[in-house]
């Protein structure tokens, strides 16, 4: 293998690792926020179910993915 190919594979592996670490931190942070009883009570009072939050976020995620692929 050439040195540049090894460097490219190493950089790709590092980028993937950083991306997965970021995703896991986001999920962990959301879990910490949502486990707070005050936040749960406020979300229940506002009538925000997880399904409505998800349906609201899906168009934004699709838009982001289209922009990212350009």
The pLDDT of residue 37 is: 82
Count: domains in the chain: 1
* 10-residue stretch averages of pLDDT, the chain, 70 residues long: 70 90 92 82 65 65 71
The pLDDT of residue 64 is: 73
Residue 68 CA: distances (Å) to CA of 17, 61, 62, 64? 19, 10, 10, 6
What is the C-alpha separation between 18 and 9, in angstroms, rounded? 14
Range of the domain at 29: 3-69
The pLDDT of residue 36 is: 82
The pLDDT of residue 24 is: 94
The pLDDT of residue 47 is: 60
């Amino acid at each position: 293998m050439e040195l540049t190919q090894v460097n490219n594979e190493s950089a790709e592996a590092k980028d993937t690792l950083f991306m997965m670490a970021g995703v896991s931190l986001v999920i962990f942070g959301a879990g910490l926020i949502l486990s707070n009883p005050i936040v749960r009570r406020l979300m229940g009072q506002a009538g925000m179910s997880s399904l409505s939050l998800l349906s609201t976020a899906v168009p934004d995620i699709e838009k982001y993915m289209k922009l990212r692929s350009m």
